[in-house]
Amino acid sequence: MSGAGAVLSRQLAGRVAIVTGGASGIGKGICRVLAARGAMVAVVDLDGEAAGATAEEISAGEARAAHFQADVTDRASLDDVVGQVVDLYGHIDICVANAGVIAGPGFTERRDYTDDDWDATQSINLRGVVSTNDAVKAHMIERGAGRIINIASHSGRTPRGAPGSLGDIQIPYSVSKAGVIQWTMHLALQLGQHGITANAVCPGTLWTPMWERIANMRKRFDESVRDLSPREIFDRHIGLNVPLGRPQTPEDIGNAVAFLASDDARVITGQALNVNGGAMMN
């Protein structure tokens, strides 16, 4: 590699990143991109075994990664991970709060939300992000530097779907993601004076285990797609909703995160960046 490509590949050399939900889907893509650009990556997930597999895959090349089991709804487990990462790598430069769920357990079998859906989305998607950020904040303030990047969703920006449509089960999710965007802006206000930026990335539609569950739910309740496979339901959704006509990949989201974590983004804070093929424009 030469020229700009080589510079880009070392863009995050020496930086340490912590990524929650790093064992699967988007989080895994973020870990791969950050590691490929030179960062040492702490892969944090509820599923410790899968986090280990991701860390091993990343470490197979030149890059360095370690894995940690933690539940983002348990602040003590996040404090513990932050302490271990600092012990291992010396510091933390980048915090990516990505862990999230679409709804509560068993949601594919119902079309209307329940208390479980509100509890799961608020405690994991919103409070989990707040706790993850709070767990690294003191360390970053002490260093006078840091990049916080929270994974929201474009569904957190504006409501979609007619009342009573299939979208109802996703309302608690969308509200939790709107909360993540609002929280991130507050964080940017709070932490700017310490040289720390805080931004959100709003992915659009990606074929991950999360979207596969959504497709299964649609297959059950939407007669117009009953004969399609989950992947065909996803592809149809892309064709109908995405101007660029293609889904995003976990690496597309990783590229946006890497940009926000890089020196190129040093004066960007309090923003929410859509990475969605133009599916929603704001």
Using CB under 6 A as the binding rule, whether residue 174 contacts ligand NAD is answered as: no
Using CB under 6 A as the binding rule, whether residue 235 contacts ligand NAD is answered as: no
Using CB under 6 A as the binding rule, whether residue 209 contacts ligand NAD is answered as: yes
Cβ 149 to ligand NAD shortest distance, Å: 12
For 58, the token pair is 């990343």
Using CB under 6 A as the binding rule, whether residue 20 contacts ligand NAD is answered as: yes
| Cβ atoms of residues 31 and 41 within 8 Å | yes
Using CB under 6 A as the binding rule, whether residue 126 contacts ligand NAD is answered as: no
Considering only residues 81 through 100, tell me which ones interact with ligand NAD, judged by CB under 6 A: 98-100
Using CB under 6 A as the binding rule, whether residue 73 contacts ligand NAD is answered as: yes
Cβ 27 to ligand NAD shortest distance, Å: 5
**Is the Cβ of residue 38 or residue 104 nearer to ligand NAD in the bound state?**
104
Binding pattern for the stretch 135-154 against ligand NAD, x by CB under 6 A and - elsewhere: ----------------x-x-
Give the interface size with ligand NAD as a residue count (CB under 6 A): 28
Using CB under 6 A as the binding rule, whether residue 113 contacts ligand NAD is answered as: no
Using CB under 6 A as the binding rule, whether residue 255 contacts ligand NAD is answered as: no
DSSP-derived secondary structure for the chain:
--HHHHHHHTTTTT-EEEEETTTSHHHHHHHHHHHHTT-EEEEEES-HHHHHHHHHHHHTSS--EEEEE--TT-HHHHHHHHHHHHHHHS---EEEE----SSSTTGGG-SS--HHHHHHIIIIIIHHHHHHHHHHHHHHHHHT-EEEEEE--GGGTS--S-TTSGGGGGHHHHHHHHHHHHHHHHHHHHHGGGTEEEEEEEE----SHHHHHHHHHHHHH-GGGTTS-HHHHHHHHHHHH-TT-S---HHHHHHHHHHHHSGGGTT--S-EEEESTTSS--
- Examine the residue annotation and report whether 89 is marked as an active-site residue of this protein: no
The only residue of 40, 92, 124, 258 in contact with ligand NAD, by rule CB under 6 A = 124
The only residue of 210, 228, 268, 280 in contact with ligand NAD, by rule CB under 6 A = 210
Active-site residue identified among 173, 207, 234, 259 = 173
How far apart are the C-alpha atoms of 14 and 150, rounded to whole Å?
21
**Total residue count of the chain as it appears in this document:** 282
For residue 57, the one-letter residue type is E
**Is the Cβ of residue 8 or residue 121 nearer to ligand NAD in the bound state?**
121
Using CB under 6 A as the binding rule, whether residue 41 contacts ligand NAD is answered as: no
Cβ 144 to ligand NAD shortest distance, Å: 28
The only residue of 43, 72, 103, 215 in contact with ligand NAD, by rule CB under 6 A = 72
Q: Which of 14, 3, 1, 35 is nearest to 251 (CA)?
A: 35
Q: Which residues are catalytic?
A: 173
- The residues binding ligand NAD (CB under 6 A) are 20-21, 23-27, 45-47, 71-73, 98-101, 124, 128, 151, 153, 203, 205-206, 208-211
